[in-house]
Copies of this chain bind each other. A is one copy, B any other.
Amino acid sequence: MRDWEENVRKVVPYTPGEQPKTDGVIKLNTNENPYPPAPGVKKVLESFDVDALRLYPDPKIEMLVDAIADFYGLDSSKVFVGVGSDDVLAMIFMTFFNSKKPILFPDITYSFYNVWADMLRIPYEQIPLAEDFSIVPSDYYKANGGVVFPNPNAPTGKLMPLDQIIDIIEQNQDVVVVVDEAYVDFGGESALPLIDKYDNVIVVQTFSKSRSLAGSRVGFAMANPVLIKYLNDVKYSFNSYTMDRITIEAATATINDRAYFEETTAKVIKTREWTKEQLKRLGFTFCDSKSNFIFAKPANVSATKLFEDLKENKIFVRHFSSPERINDYLRISIGTDEQMQTLIRFLENYQC
């Protein structure tokens, strides 16, 4: 080993779901939206002034910040925009989780939280979910350096009621509490109204799921202006110009089309409910998902075996080999009706 290697930050990175390069795959493994982006995105590309790409974008991303603020009826000073909600969350970890006390998050949750904490040398404690995969608010009453959890939780899809979120916030007034709402638009109740009552709460959302723009990388945070200012200071200390000109316009066109958003999320919800019935009929067990995926345990076959057999038949779902408590489950994203029918047909005829 050379001496310079001693100064290297050595980390074990997050492993994203596979992005298969072959065609004809039914891709139910990374919780993407089965419907295309809002029609306005195509118009943006058609009329985009390519020459303007020689110029830096607006570092404040005002066009998009204002559009998000409009959509949610907020002042723009309460909105922060980043390159996907992963970028937003990474910035939040850097900005607000600098205590010597551990931050708290569930043991079964978005598997990037411990990666960020490890990388940024943030102490953390993973709080076990209850037997039924619920987050138990009273487990978060202890002294800590911050709290973060998704709602609905990932990869369980389970929604925590708002009064329990309020309970966690009330008991954690001296730290920042982050509610990661990547999947909230599929039937969850957002904690957004709480940002006006509690100055230590951040709500994070993304364009990657309910807004069909995973390929554009857009996420955002909403909180009181003091938190947003601190977050922007760190962002501007990292990279002044994070979001490219085309994405700013495409994302603005997307958030401005409320009707399309409501139509496509309603379709995903409807397909999810149908899929739940079918999986139940086929003996799968799962908790009630309010997200765009179902986290389900097959009846008479190991999840690993079914995962591989599905993959062989060009149906990609996600399997997590750890922690052990969830390795009997598969996370199945909600596709189109046709895709889910194909999945169910496969399962009906499946001989393991």
Contacts and interface: CB of A to CB of B under 8 A. Distances in A.
A274 interface: no
21 contacts: A2-B173, A4-B176, A4-B200, A6-B99, A7-B98, A9-B94, A9-B96, A11-B237, A16-B59, A16-B240, A37-B51, A41-B50, A52-B215, A54-B213, A54-B215, A84-B239, A90-B239, A119-B234, A217-B241, A217-B243, A247-B247
Given A53-B41, A56-B214, A10 B240 contact: no
**Copy total for this chain:** 2
Given A4-B173, A19-B55, A216-B244, 18 more contacts: A3-B173, A4-B175, A4-B176, A4-B200, A7-B99, A9-B234, A10-B233, A13-B235, A13-B236, A14-B237, A14-B240, A36-B53, A41-B53, A45-B246, A55-B214, A84-B242, A116-B237, A217-B244
A10 B238 contact: no
Contact of A19 (B6, B56, B119, B199): B56
A16 B27 CA distance: 41
Given A19-B55, A53-B213, A215-B244, A174 B4 contact: yes
A250 interface: yes
Contacts of A95: 8-9
Contacts of A245: 215-216
Contacts of A2: 173-174, 199-200
A177 to B, nearest CB: 9
A329 interface: no
Contacts of A180: none
* 3 shortest interchain CB distances as A-B pairs: A13-B236, A3-B174, A53-B215
Contact of A45 (B17, B50, B233): B50
Interface in A255-291: none
Contact-residue size bin, chain A (C-beta under 8 Å from the other chain):
35 or more
Contacts of A235: 13
A189 interface: no
Contact of A238 (B32, B42, B119, B244): B119
B215 A57 contact: yes
